[in-house]
Amino acid sequence: MENTIKILRPKMLEQMALHNPDLYVGEEFAMLNRVRRDLAQQMSLTARIPQYVEVGRFQRVTQGSATFKINLVPYHVERGCIFIIPEHNYIEVSELTDDFDLQIISFKHLPVSFSRCTLLRLNDTDFERIGEYTHLIWQVVHKPSYSMQTVEYLLAALMNDLQHVHEQTDTAQHVLTHSEQMMQQFMDLVAEYGAQERKVAFYAQRMALTPNHLSALVRRHTGKSVMDWLNERTLLQAKVLLKHTDQPVSDIAYQLNFTEVTLFSRFFRREEGMTPMEYRKA
């Protein structure tokens, strides 16, 4: 998968940078300092197309609010939020307010402080202090010449600070119940295998549960069935492949473990209300 989808495309970002002085692009590092008004509408439309994030991403929401999903799990962010997304995750935006603005730092090697998607809601003091890090990083990369090592040290310091803040929150101190741990395991398995393995028994066996027990667990925690989750996961990856690669529909069907293209097309139409080619052209 990682070899077929390239969302952080250097050439595309370099072209964007020519028209946006608030975007910096380097070989190992990219930073969006803010969303300019003339690009806000374009960003809103682009963001609503599911994305595969192959690199680590730090997001600091400076204005407005947004609702989106990471690997099908819903999140809501607003000013004062920091969101950290490790590499190899799927993002699907549901809503963006007109005034939504944020800072984004994307880099190939996210510091290991955060191995899972983490949403932090900071108080004003902590939020502004984190903003000082991003301001300093922005200044450093705009020097005539700069050391990438310096940027890496600043990023490490930023993540260390955020880790300290995270450890002080109630969310970090919350101990998951056994049922919550099992649900987290299921979501991790769906994120890893969901686009290819669409049988309840596969996940039940991995979790040492009966299919009925797993189905009851997922329904109790999410209100959805196991098959709902698997169908959504398959559809999500299908959308990304259709929009972000030029692979033939037949190859995408095979990659998603459909034995026939017609079965994939029927599945896609049932879930999305249009054919794969109609979605690709939309």
pLDDT at position 282 is 87
Residue 12: is its pLDDT beyond 80? Answer: no
pLDDT digits (tens, 9 = 90+) for 135-155: 999 999 888 888 888 988 998
Same domain, residue pair 150 and 258: no
- Which helix (H) or strand (E) segment holds residue 39: the answer is helix 37-47
Same domain, residue pair 29 and 169: yes
Instruction: Return the percentage of the chain with pLDDT > 70, whole number.
Output: 85
Q: Does residue 116 form part of some domain?
A: yes
Domain end residue (candidates: 173, 189, 218): 173
Same domain, residue pair 105 and 241: no
Count the neighbouring beta carbons within 10 Å of the beta carbon of residue 213.
13
pLDDT digits (tens, 9 = 90+) for 239-273: 999 998 999 999 999 999 999 999 999 999 999 99
Q: What is the rounded distance in angstroms from the CA atom of residue 282 to the CA atom of residue 271?
A: 16
If we measure between CA atoms, which residue out of 62, 5, 7, 8 comes closest to residue 31?
Answer: 8
Residue 130: is its pLDDT beyond 90? Answer: yes
Same domain, residue pair 188 and 258: yes
Q: What domain range includes position 139?
A: 10-173
Read off the pTM. Answer: 0.82
Band of the pLDDT at 35, cuts 50, 70, 90?
Answer: confident
pLDDT at position 171 is 59
pLDDT at position 11 is 41
Q: Does residue 109 form part of some domain?
A: yes
Q: Does residue 5 form part of some domain?
A: no
Say if residue 36 is exposed, middle or buried (CB neighbours under 10 Å; 0-12, 13-18, 19+): middle
Residue 18: is its pLDDT beyond 80? Answer: no
Q: What is the CATH number of the domain that holds 230?
A: 1.10.10.60
pLDDT digits (tens, 9 = 90+) for 84-126: 998 888 988 888 888 889 999 987 766 666 778 899 999 999 9
Residue 14: is its pLDDT beyond 50? Answer: no
